[in-house]
Structure 1
Amino acid sequence: MGTYELVDLFAGAGGLGLAARGLGVPGIGIEWDKNACATRQAAGLATKQGDVRDFSPSDFPSANVLVGGPPCMVYSVAGAGAARRNLTDTLDLMQRMARREDVTARLAQLEDERKHLVLEPLRWALDAIDSDRPYEAVVLAQVPSVLPVWEAMGDVLSAEGYSVACGPLRAEEYGVPQTRRVAVLIARRRGRAALPKATHQRFGKKSSTASGTPVLPPCVTMGDVLDRPEPFTVLSSYGFGGDPKDRGQRTSTQPAATVTGRIFRSRVITDDDGAIDRLSASEAGQLQSFPADYPWQGHIKGQQIGTATPPLLATHILAAALDLAVQPTRPTETMPIPSR
């Protein structure tokens, strides 16, 4: 096991950073949003406020692990609509970057800056390689639709000598009290890259472990982590797939539905349809596996919470990428925040 230090692109409120700290890996995050930066500062996470595009690996010479989750567009491998064009444009730019072509002029023609931003991790990785200081590991996590982009980026990194693993992970299979799918890329300079093994059962599906293998524990529920009288039901203010006509609901004996920036619009009711207090920032954060006392700051807490990588999932991802051991924690256990 080597000594690691990471730089976290698009660091947000601290999901990956909190996971790294729990694993004993120091690092710094780059984040432009002032509210997320305030939260990170209150949590004791080192932060540079600014645009990732204004920095480069040379600004963080001691970092040897690159992580992040750039804001992404919708991508699709099928059809001929906008999602397919987004993917075609992005893959073309990746290939040009892999050939070390100057794509500045092409980027200037793009209308949506998210097409710029999703390429930033590759720019950083290639810059580090060309400076003879390649990152020991690259770890990326985002919504499932970005998986074709991660796979293409993985092909570029493979050609540069990395071992790469890509795929979707389900948050509840790693102890997060929420069903959330995340597309993950792990690339390693040394050793074989592999996605982390599940630690809990998948929601709605019985364990299918082979004969003789211990059955995984059930997924963690909202009732396990929230300090509320049970039973209760959370009614989403948005539907599955964003359709308000198909609003989702989960009971306290189930994990939460995917937490988004609209989490505070969700209603909480009792069995007799009596409305009770809506979720607080602390409770919404707990459904993302943040500690109950995480110091959320600013006026836009829902967005910070909903866009974060769940720290518990991030812990398993980083541990797999860096060959580190994960210490078991209880879902309600608080994580240490240094005094400021």
Structure 2
Amino acid sequence: MTKAPTLIDLFAGCGGMTAGFTRHGFNPVLAVEHDLHAAATYAANYGEDHIHWGDIAEVADDDIPDADVVIGGPPCQGFSNLGSKDVNDPRNQLWKQYLRFVQIARPQVFVIENVDRFHKSAEFQLLRDEADHGMIEDYELTHGLLLAADYGVPQRRTRTIIIGSRVGRIPHPEPTHSKFPTLSGTQPWRTVRDAISALPERPDTTELPDTKTDYFGRVVPGEFKWLDLHFGRKPREQSLLRYDCIPPGGGRFDLPDELLPRCWREKKTGTTDVMGRMRWDHPSLTIRTEFFKPEKGQYLHPQWEADRPERRVNRVITHLEAALLQEFPETFAWCGSKIQIAKQIGNAVPVGLAAAIARHVQSYLQ
């Protein structure tokens, strides 16, 4: 193409997918996000002039511009392993709004990302039906699971990626990284060490700066950048005792009986990664929206030495560390409270995965 390809980002969140696509020269012309603080974060990084904060159904057909590519991840709580798995959840119908935008914007390519189980859902079959004889019958679909670690992200996060194209079938991009690089001719997986080892081990604050900004006529906390997000928590003494027992790669099964809460003492199986500690030389597991709670996953800082207790960092990862494991750039600005920003980080598509898709798709555009 002789000019920058144009981009629409739906259900944009804080702009994780846009971050990956702009890395390869895409020009965002419209974004839609209903959450105020996520929309403010998007605006802080890409401009307020082209983002619609509000219900996607409120965007009129006449306000949808042409675009080369449409991207987005319709809300997926009904499909998530952590969700209700309710196929009648109204949030599962929002992909139809996505298709309305595709119909009107007429992109050459669209990309849908969702949780790994989406490709086995009834809603996905309806999407395929629309490609056969419905709203997107001009598009040929490619679908499957991509592992973020295989594209240079220091995180083992699996997503369903659907590429729709009316310029010929577009396969998924080939992995650039792998667990066994000598066998595949790829680069080795990037690790937690690659992402966060340069940061101070012990944050010097537990709070965000007291700053405010204005977006969409509303005052929101922020903008926060870089070390603003490197804040700790104030765990209870019993929590610190638990953290101290858990080695890299370990979890709740490493705790002695006297430190086990009753619910874990009575449940001897399942949930192996909770109260887990990351490992320096491996990718992290999935960064979810509550990464600041160690009982929710493998979120303890990886620094721990068996024979040197003084070299143990007994805390959960900070918001900045989580953002870096999602591959957000150091210059990224954030708006919202601690919990709101954590939700934005955990809900985002890993930037490196989005960038790999963007680079691949760009080569097919006419």
TM-score by length of 2: 0.68
Give the number of equivalent residue pairs: 279
Matched residue SS, 1:36: helix
Tell me by how many angstroms 1:116 deviates.
Answer: 2.5
Alpha-carbon spacing, 1:234–1:35, altered in 2? closer, same or farther (3 Å): farther
CA distance 1:29–1:233, shift in 2 (3 Å)? farther
Residue 360 of structure 2 aligns to a residue in which SS? helix
Which residue of 310, 330, 335 maps to 1:297? Answer: 335
Provide the residue aligned with 2:131 in structure 1: 157
Task: Answer whether contact 1:282 1:292 (CA < 8 A) is retained.
Answer: no
Shift of 1:152: 4.4
Match of 2:75 in 1: 71
Contact 1:7 1:60 in 2 (8 A): no
Deviations 1:32-62 (A, max 9, x none): 1111122112213442211111115531223
Pick one of 174, 180, 190 that aligns with 1:197: 174
1:58 partner amino acid: D
Report whether the alignment pairs 1:173 with 2:133: no
- Which ranges in structure 1 are unaligned for 5 or more consecutive residues? 77-81, 87-109, 210-214, 326-340
Is 1:9 the counterpart of 2:2 in the alignment?
no
Change (3 A) 1:270 1:47: same
CA contact (8 A) 1:137 1:187 kept: yes
Hey, what does 2:238 align to over in structure 1?
A: none
CA distance in 1, matches of 2:90, 2:2: 36
Question: Take 2:25 and 2:165, find their aligned partners in 1: how far apart are those partners?
Answer: 19
From 113, 122, 141, the counterpart of 1:141: 113
| Matches of 1:219 and 1:13, distance apart in 2 | 26
| Structure 2 equivalent of residue 29 of structure 1 | 31
Partners of 1:276 and 1:22 in 2: how far apart?
Answer: 35
Q: What is the Cα deviation at residue 243 of structure 1?
A: 5.3
Calculate the aligned-residue CA RMSD, in Å.
Answer: 3.0
8 Å CA contact 1:177, 1:220 repeated in 2: yes
Distance 2:332 2:128 in 1: 34
Q: Match of 2:65?
A: 61
Conserved 8 A contact 1:171-1:178 = yes
**CA distance in 2: counterparts of 1:137 and 1:57, whole angstroms:** 19
Q: 1:156 to 1:207 in 2, by over 3 A?
A: farther
Alignment of 1:79-228 (within 5 A): 83=85, 86=87, 112-125=89-102, 127-128=103-104, 134-148=106-120, 149-150=123-124, 152-159=126-133, 160-202=137-179, 208-209=183-184, 215-226=185-196, 227-228=198-199
Percentage of matched positions with identical amino acids = 29
Aligned to 1:330: none
Alignment of 1:302-317 (within 5 A): 302-317=342-357
Question: Where do 5+ consecutive residues of structure 2 fail to align?
Answer: 202-246, 253-263, 294-298
